[in-house]
Copies of this chain bind each other. A is one copy, B any other.
Amino acid sequence: MHSPAAPQPADPVGDSRALRAPGVRMRSLLLDAALPLFKAQGLAGTAVSQIAQAAGAFPSQVTYYFRSKEALFVEAACREVLYAAQQTELAAAQADTLPAYVDALVSAAVQADGLVMFIEALVLARRRQDLAPLIARTTERLHSEGARAYAEMRARRGWALADDPALRARRFWALVLGVVLRDAAAGAGAAASASEIQALLRSEWQLPEAAAAPSGTPAARLRAVASPPR
């Protein structure tokens, strides 16, 4: 199906059967090799020849499997943001209270390398409509995984809310993208973005405001004001 003669964008999360095909294996190898280079040097600072060298491949294989460095970047970014979303869920799964959960989700999401890469990929893909399906699939996956994770937490902790997990997940990621894009341009750091998203989500969820305690991490402060939702 995925023969080298017909390379196709793989599902970013992968499929164990498809990975057996040699073409898909080389795609994956190139993605793995490119990722640390993109993170360290950015898209513009990374040459196709460097990526090929790091993967033990020829530069022509990069263009063969991905057509362009930009397409490889977008695919790596989509994979990374899905990984970041998984890590975000894991970080938040320990939270005992809804405010602590919201805080942990936001802190983990805004600090992830994958998020910054994904925003850059979104900007790139605006002019590359061949990449739109991959962005659309990644977005759907972010939303469905986020909805599932929230519904599980809500059930496990017994939070008495009748809200729609799908809407929560879509709003979460839209707010995260909008605030991080804006704050990065306005010179605000990840901590400022996290506070802003936390404030917006807290009021949406009708949670108490963060206490204005002069000391302690935002997470510690949120836990200090945690109370049973509604």
Contact = CB atoms under 8 A, between A and B. Distances in A.
Contacts of A112: none
Task: Give the interface size class of chain A.
Answer: 35 or more
B126 A171 contact: no
A56 interface: no
Interface string A92-115: 000000000000000000000000
A18 interface: no
Given A132-B187, A186-B136, A186-B139, A122 B181 contact: yes
A119 B122 CA distance: 11
Contacts of A184: 122, 126
A55 interface: no
A168 to B, nearest CB: 9
A14 interface: no
Interface of A: 119, 121-126, 129, 131-133, 135-136, 139, 164, 167, 170-171, 173-179, 181-182, 184-188, 196-197, 199-200, 203-204
8 contacts: A122-B185, A126-B185, A129-B187, A139-B182, A170-B196, A174-B182, A177-B181, A178-B178
